[in-house]
Chains A and B, each alone.
Chain A
Amino acid sequence: MNPVYIAGAGMTKFGRSEWPLMQLASVASLAALHHANLGDIPVDGVVVANMGAARMNRQTALGSALVDQLALYPATAESVENGPASGASAVKVGVQAIASGMADVVLVTGVERMRVVNGLEGTDFVASLSHPEAEYIYGVTLPALAGMFARLVMDKFGVERKHLAMVAIKNHDNAAKNPYAHIQQTVTMEGILTLPEAAVNNPPIAEPLHMFDCCPVSDGAASLVLVSEAVAAKLGGPRVRVAGIGQATDTHTVHEREDPTDLKSVRIAAEQAFGRAGLTPNDIDVAELHDAFTILEIAESEASGFFPRGEGHKALERGETRLDGTLPINPSGGLKAKGHPVGATGVAQLVELTWQLRGECGARQVKDANAAYACNFGGFGNNVVASILQREAS
């Protein structure tokens, strides 16, 4: 397979936007194209990741729409819907196009505009990824699944609510340094857990998960420009290579898994990605994990191979995953505080990591970052894409 590089990365600020869906997608795309500085090199293909536009924004065929919006004809156009893993799946499609030699430049954009519907509808929309007959009809929502998962993990490995709060505090701190983050508000252990006021400040959503354990519902878009080795050589500048991608699935229903606390799909996807990259978890300098709920950051940090099973919360407690730790996790603020426009998330994780590897993250820059890992967690772990990026000398 031919090597694939990321020449440009851009995104909109996540949050609540008044912009129409395609305007969000266009702004992120233009930012990435500007970042790549392609000059007269044409874009061969466009891939758009999205989960809910057909339902929430009454728009389909987003790939074609974005080509038209940006006047990129006759570029090829695809739309990828793969639940919350849509973003990284779209990147995978773009990587495959270049790796196979079918394209030299592919624009991959993830976009979601969820705040156009109210919270109940938004929650119901996301819940539509669950099993229709075995989960959804019983009222299962993603917070409910995450709550049950958290309870099991806490019982099995001694994770406590204070550890969940530590994830929230860390990621809010990081997001406060990220101008693109939805929530730029730091929180404290006292304010969300230990003082009596915390009962009001941080109400239960799906026990043991409380409000500050859950990501916000966000609008936003993120975009990457993928290029072939020949184009990367022409462009010069910092070189960030897509070193490896892995993807794995698991049962649709969580309760069918032999051990629901074992994120098997994360483990397999990560192993594939590391194998293809020729790296190990020890080589990773910075990671973006899919912390739609705080418990997921802890569980994914173990399943990805960074810490032994049941030890993720201990590493967190030791400060290893902080911005100044040995393996900073979610320097962007993660889904928890940067926000989670579902279809954009997987792309946004790689945007952050590209900027990290290029040394462009300002106050949240991880020192000497050479290799980076992302976990885009679809469904409730039934479809996971793991990606590894690596900086190369230009």
Chain B
Amino acid sequence: MGNISELEVQMRPPAMNMPAYSPKAITLASGETMVVRQVAREEVPILLEAIYPLLWVERDFYDIVAARLFGELLAYKRYRAKDEYVLVGLIDGVLAGMVNGRLVDEKTGMSYHTLTIRRGLRVGSHLFAAKMEYHIEQVQQEEVLIVAESPIGFRRWMIEYPLEKRFEVQHELGGVPSWVLPKDVYYAAKPRLVSGHRPVSDELMKSAATIVLPEEETVVRQVAGEKEEQQ
């Protein structure tokens, strides 16, 4: 924790002993390799920079996902969320997407957000799966609480896995009735939805060591589609 004030200690949530996410590499449909790895708190500012232009993109609910994720990333950086983690997908070091969540207790995880920048290659699907893999296989939790804030998310998580209803629980994202991914459903879906290989070679890890941002214009164009610049 370093040299922090007594008051700051009071404000920080208690922390569990979280294992580090074991990075993996995934070959995408394009043949490109995406490295999925955990990010450290000091890397948060560059992620904020990537998200910032999306705060005003209404398409596919990017605005609310970006805004909430922005706050969650700050909470992670400034120790204001209990046991939060953030994973990123990087293609040649360039940010393709990110996911985050937190541990509620030893048995239960809470999925927060999945945000894809490089669309059309199932990057979001891969990253969400990596998040579930972290909760169930690496932290060894029993279940993960999940909601969707966009129809795309609903199709990807609730229908594709498929998730079970846990409507008596209000999810932290807006108090929406929660859905849940139990361990057995995760393992049943794993062959269809979870992929990638480990260990990641040193060369690949080196390429993913520093997060590179796509141009702001590219980020917005990729997630929002082209408008006025059409021929």
Are B195 and A179 in contact, CB atoms less than 8 angstroms apart?
no
Cβ of A188 < 8 Å from any Cβ of B?
yes
Interface residues of A in 5-32 (CB under 8 A from B): 11-13, 15-19, 27, 31
Are A196 and B195 in contact, CB atoms less than 8 angstroms apart?
yes
A190 to B26, CA, bound (A): 12
Interface string of B201-221 (1 = CB under 8 A from A): 000000000000000000000
Main secondary structure of the interface of B (DSSP, over half): loop
Are A18 and B129 in contact, CB atoms less than 8 angstroms apart?
no
A12 to B226, CA, bound (A): 11
Are A17 and B230 in contact, CB atoms less than 8 angstroms apart?
yes
Cβ of A185 < 8 Å from any Cβ of B?
yes
B230 contact from A13, A186, A187, A192, Cβ within 8 A = A13
A180 contact from B26, B122, B225, B231, Cβ within 8 A = B231
Are A197 and B26 in contact, CB atoms less than 8 angstroms apart?
yes
Cβ of B191 < 8 Å from any Cβ of A?
yes
Cβ of A101 < 8 Å from any Cβ of B?
no
Among B28-36, B67-75, B108-116, the one that faces the other chain is: B28-36
Interface residues of A in 142-188 (CB under 8 A from B): 179-180, 183, 185-188
Chain A residues within 8 Å of B194, by CB:
200
A188 to B129, CA, bound (A): 22
Are A185 and B121 in contact, CB atoms less than 8 angstroms apart?
yes
Are B225 and A197 in contact, CB atoms less than 8 angstroms apart?
no
Chain B residues within 8 Å of A188, by CB:
29-31
Interface size on A, residues (CB 8 A): 32
Known contacts A118-B151, A185-B121; decide if A201 and B230 are in contact (CB<8 Å).
no
Are B27 and A191 in contact, CB atoms less than 8 angstroms apart?
yes
Are B195 and A31 in contact, CB atoms less than 8 angstroms apart?
no
B27 contact from A118, A186, A195, Cβ within 8 A = A195
The number of residue pairs between A and B whose CB atoms lie closer than 8 Å in the complex comes to 75
A202 to B193, CA, bound (A): 10
Chain A residues within 8 Å of B27, by CB:
190-191, 195, 197, 201
Chain A residues within 8 Å of B231, by CB:
11-13, 27, 31, 179-180
Interface string of B4-46 (1 = CB under 8 A from A): 0000000000000000000000111111100000000000000
Cβ of A203 < 8 Å from any Cβ of B?
yes
Interface string of A106-140 (1 = CB under 8 A from B): 00000000000011000000000000000000000
Cβ of A212 < 8 Å from any Cβ of B?
yes
Known contacts A13-B226, A15-B226, A179-B231; decide if A201 and B191 are in contact (CB<8 Å).
no
How distant is B196 from chain A, measured CB to nearest CB, in Å? Answer: 7
Are A212 and B29 in contact, CB atoms less than 8 angstroms apart?
yes
How distant is A178 from chain B, measured CB to nearest CB, in Å? Answer: 12
Are B28 and A201 in contact, CB atoms less than 8 angstroms apart?
yes
- Nearest A residue (CB) for B227: A18
A187 contact from B29, B125, B191, B225, Cβ within 8 A = B29
8 contacts between A and B (CB under 8 A): A17-B225, A17-B230, A185-B29, A191-B29, A200-B193, A200-B195, A201-B29, A201-B121
Binding site for B on A (CB under 8 A): 11-13, 15-19, 27, 31, 118-119, 179-180, 183, 185-188, 190-192, 195-203, 212
